[in-house]
Amino acid sequence: MTSLQADEAFVEHYQLTHDPFTPRVPGFKFFPAQRKPVLAQLHQLARYSALMQVVSGPLGSGKTLLRQALVASSNKQSVVSVPLSARQAGNSAMLLRGFSQGLGGSSQDVDGLLGQVARLNQAGQEVYLLVDDAEKLQDEALETLAALAAGDSDGRAHVFLFAEPELLARLDALGKADRCHVQELQPYTLDETRAYLAQRLEGAGQDLTLFDARQLEEIQVESGGWPGAINRVAREVLNEAMLAEDQPELSTGTGINLPKKHLLALGVVAVGVVLALVMNGKESGVAPAVTDSPAPGQQGSVVQGEAAAASPSPTVNGPAIEFEGDKPLPLPLVGQGQPVPREPLARAAGGAGVEELDASNAAMPIAVDTAVPPVGTEQAVAQTPPSAAPVTAPTPAPAPAVEVKPAPAAPLAVAPSARPAPTPAAVPAPSAPTAGSAGSGSWYLSQPVGQYTLQLFGTSSEGAAQTAVREGGGDYRYFRKLHQGKPLYVVTYGAFSTPAAAKSAVTGLPARLQAGKPWPRTFASIQQEIRQAGR
């Protein structure tokens, strides 16, 4: 995969042959009308002026393209051009070495190089020394270039510096500003920006219709008309439009359109509020009475519950037990596993044994059949750790005995309380990922590299990809890749032996997916993206 086939999701989405906004696209030349007078003036000053020519503009303003145009438009018979970059030749020694090699000599000082230039001048050839990224030159290198530009009686070099505006302040501080002629580049107009983008897209197999008028104006304003910024902003605009297509807005029925992720967030908040209200109502309500019926032949019974004060309870197979004048006592929740001493009630019922109720018994409601009148018994509950012995509450005041009949082996039931607690709303459990949606991409890695699948869309939300796979069925899958260092989840459909077979399957897809223009992809390219994401 070449650099022009880089992993850019919008390249595939918009069916481009390569990234049209790469800074250095081989063969791309855009030279607006405003730059032609600048180029002509550089040639004119090189012929008649002994000053250094400085072309100034911000990063991405087109300085390198202008340098290339200057070399390309020079007469090869009468001009010898030596292009250098201050990134590799920032100091004086490296600059002199690179210049000498460009002239085919071996001189390592200014005098030796001026001798080489003089011999070429005598042969009817001018020498152009063009330095790109000149703002990175050291001060000594600037002094050397000034000496080469001044030359001597036998000849001189024509020095061109292509630099960001910060170089002008340095030349002024060094006292070299009066020995330079400065050309300041101007940004593109809106019409020039349109023409620039049209030429970029045409080279990638598309046209300017990818952008509407609003987007073009946005690109012009945010980029300031500078080519490098135009490339960056145009790519961002296409990426935003692609993500908007992948995550369409849903109508809320109130005239307000919200994206899916916002609706999901509102749903989660609503469920949380409902659960909070349910739990609050459960804590303030009356817990159902739970009774433990003794086995046949056993004496005594245990009754555990919490009743509303001075409120008769409904009956199950007979009247329920009431506690008049006493405050209800809290009971341990299911799962806490705390022993509940029931000696007071056991004694009141005539039993001598005290049993311990664990969490599993407390969670099992058992019906009670009794016909005794209400009693005024105070029930105390002591909470102790599971490993400790049950703590016996003080014996209450004498009360009428409570007769509890053994409950028949019938279906278990719970005596309803005076005010039943509301049932918590059921929260759907998250669905398990389908076989093809595993984040490891094992299904894709197991497919033959020469076969194809249909790529439907990519999204930055794994939940959206899982939803699409779950709604689509078994032929829908997704894999994870990296896009600009961030995860991108790509949804695909089916497995096909040829691109034609994959394309014919597009007509069977839902209309909303067909609108995204699915396209065939080899499993080899997908496997490579999965491995790159796993590094």
Q: What is the mean pLDDT of residues 81-101?
A: 92
Q: What's the rounded mean pLDDT across residues 299-308?
A: 40
DSSP H/E element including 183: strand 180-184
Sign of the four-CA dihedral 474, 480, 483, 488? positive
Please, which residues bridge with residue 496 across strands? 452
Task: Considering only residues 321 and 458, tell me which one the structure prediction assigns the higher pLDDT.
Answer: 458
Distances (CA, A) of 20 to 17, 57, 203, 205, 348: 8, 23, 7, 9, 90
What distance in Å separates the CA atoms of residue 15 and residue 119, rounded to the nearest whole number? 55
pLDDT, tens digit, 9 for 90 and up, residues 181-238:
999 999 999 999 999 999 999 888 889 998 999 999 999 999 999 999 999 999 889 8
Is residue 146 within 8 A of residue 134, CB to CB? The reply is no
Look at residue 70 in the predicted model and tell me its pLDDT: 92
Work out the angle between the directed axes of helices 139-150 and 110-122 (0-180°, nearest 10). Answer: 30
Matching residue, tokens 């506690």: 323
Average per-residue pLDDT for the chain? 73
Average pLDDT over residues 453-474: 88
Please report the pLDDT score of residue 96 as a whole number. Answer: 92
Answer yes or no: are the C-beta atoms of 318 and 328 closer than 8 Å. Answer: no
Neighbours of 22 (CB within 10 A): 17
Judge whether residue 5 has pLDDT over 80.
Answer: no
What DSSP element (H or E) covers 215?
helix 213-223
Residue with token string 């008649």: 48
Q: What percent of the chain has pLDDT over 70?
A: 65
Rounded Cα distance, 242 and 234, in Å: 12
Return the beta strands (E) in 9-116 as ranges: 52-56, 79-85
Across the range 265-270, mean pLDDT stands at 79
Q: Say how far apart CA 531 and CA 535 lie, in whole Å.
A: 7
Q: What angle do CA 149, 40, 175 make, to 5 degrees?
A: 30
Tokens of 359: 């969490």
d(CA 216, CA 237): 9
Q: Which domains does the chain have, with CATH numbers?
A: 3-26+189-246 (no CATH), 35-184 (3.40.50.300), 287-420 (no CATH), 435-534 (3.30.70.1070)
Give this prediction's pTM.
0.47
Pairing of strands 257-259, 452-459: unpaired
Give the amino acid at 330: P
For residues 226 and 39, what is the distance between their CA atoms, to the nearest angstrom?
Answer: 18
Give the length of the chain: 535
Residue 499 in this model has a pLDDT that exceeds 70: yes
Two structure tokens written together for 103: 């002239």
Q: How far apart are CA 143 and CA 98, in angstroms?
A: 16
Distance CA 493, CA 367 (A): 56
In tens, the pLDDT along 31-72 reads 888 888 999 999 888 888 888 999 999 998 999 889 989 999
d(CA 78, CA 102) in angstroms, rounded, equals 16
Q: Which of 107-111, 258-262, 293-297, 456-460 has the lowest mean pLDDT?
A: 293-297
Q: Look up residue 302 and give its two tokens.
A: 């245990």
| Alpha-carbon torsion (263, 265, 270, 275), positive or negative | positive
DSSP class of 336: S
The DSSP string of 451-509 is -EEEEEEEES-HHHHHHHHHHH-TTEEEEEEEETTEEEEEEEEEEESSHHHHHHGGGGS
Tell which residue, 497, 488, 460, 454, has the closest CA to residue 472.
454
Minimal CA–CA distance to 513: which of 477, 468, 453? Answer: 468
Percent of the chain with pLDDT over 90: 28
